[in-house]
Amino acid sequence: MSNETLTPSTLRPSYVEPGKDFDRDTNYIEDRIALDGRDGWPVEPGRYRLVAARACPWANRTAIVRRLLGLERVISLGMPGPTHDKNSWTFDLDPNGVDPVLGIERIQQAYFARFPDYPRGITVPALVDVPSGKVVTNNYPQITLDFETEWADYHRPGAPDLYPVALRAEIDEVANLIFHDVNNGVYKCGFAGSQKSYERAYGTLFSRLDWLEERLTNQRYLVGDTITEADIRLFTTLARFDAVYHGHFKCNRNKLSEMPVLWAYARDLFQTPGFGDTIDFEQIKKHYYVTHSDINPTGIVPAGPDASGWLTAHGREALGGRPFGDGTPPEAPLESERVPAL
C-alpha cells in the first residue's frame, strides 16, 4: 500500500447508517512482516510493537496467539484504553497518556507517520515499526497467520501448532463461516440500519451458532483434536456475547450461557492458559457501551453479568483432545500484561 493510493477523508463518526445493512470496511494495509522481507518489513526480534486493545475482539485474537506461541519475548505489546473517539484509540492507560515505547498518544499518529491523512478507520490490532514509528499493517486476519508461520523461528519451546499444514483448508473454511456469520454477524445485528437488515443478520447469526453447537457436541475443538486458529477466532466473540452482544447488539434469542455445548466449549478455552488471561470484562463493556453512543446515547455501562461462571467446571475433557497437541501451556503472563482476576 503506498501513499499514492490514499486520499484525505474524514473518519465515519457513526456506526449505524439508517436504512442500510452494516458493511464492514475490510480494506486493510496489506503489508506483511515476513522472513524474506518481501514488503520491506523483515522478521526481526524487538523491532515491532503490537498495538492491541483489550476491549477489541479482533485485537484479542493477536494477543492470544502471541501468548500461546511465546512471542512476548520478541514482539512488545502496547495497550490502548477501552474507549476512543472518531479519530482513534488512545493510550490513556499509560503514564501521561503516552505509549512508553512509541512515544505517541494515539495510534493514529503511527498511521499518519506512514500515510498522512490516512482515509480509512484507524483500527487495532496494528503492528508498528518501532524505529520509524510507522504502522506496518492492520490486516488482523493475516497478522495471526504470520505469527504462526513467518515467526516460527522465534516460537517458545513447546509452542502449539495453531495452523497445521494438513488442516489449513478446513481451518480456513470454518474460520470464514465464523467470520461472516458470527464474528461480523453480531455487528451486523448491532449496527443494522433497518428492521429488515437486523432480522436477516439475527437469523444468520443464530443459525450458525446452532450449527456450531451441533459441530462441537462430540468434538472438543473446531478442527482436529487440538486448539487451532479457528478456535481462537470464535472464542473472542463468544467471550463478549453475554456481556455485550446479547443486550447491546440485540442478539437476544438466548444467551451463550443458555447454549450448553457452546457455553462449555467457551469455558474450556477460557480456562486454558493464553485465553482467559487476556480477557478484561470491564474494559470490554466500557468500550462498547461508551463508544457506541449512537446505539447507547446515555453511555451507561451495565453492572452485570456475573462473570464468575466462566470459572465453573465444563466437563469437555471427556471428549478427549489435546489442547496444545505435542506442545505445552504458555508461562504466566508478563506482570505488565496481567488482567484483573475474576
Kindly report the number of other CB atoms within 10 A of residue 99's CB atom. 23
Pick from 259, 260, 42: nearest CA to 154: 42
Is the Cβ–Cβ distance between 229 and 172 less than 8 Å? no
Buried b (16+ CB within 10 A) or exposed e, 170-207: ebbebbebbbebbbbbbbbbbbbbeeebbeebbebbbe
310 belongs to an annotated ligand binding site: no
Catalytic residue among 48, 140, 163, 187: 187
The cell for 127 is: 503492528
Query: If residue 57 lies in a helix (H) or strand (E), which one and from where to where?
Result: helix 57-69
DSSP 78-141: E---S-B-SS-BB-TTSGGG--TTT--SBTHHHHHHHSTT--S---SSEEEETTTTEEEE--HH
Q: 251 an active-site residue? A: no
| Residue appearing with cell numbers 505445552 | 328
Where are the extended beta strands (E) located within the chain? Answer: 48-51, 76-78, 126-129, 134-137
Catalytic residue among 56, 118, 202, 288: 56
What order do you get walking across the sheet with 76-78 strand by strand?
76-78, 48-51, 126-129, 134-137
**Catalytic residue list:** 56, 187
Binding site, annotated residues for glutathione: 89
Binding site, annotated residues: 89
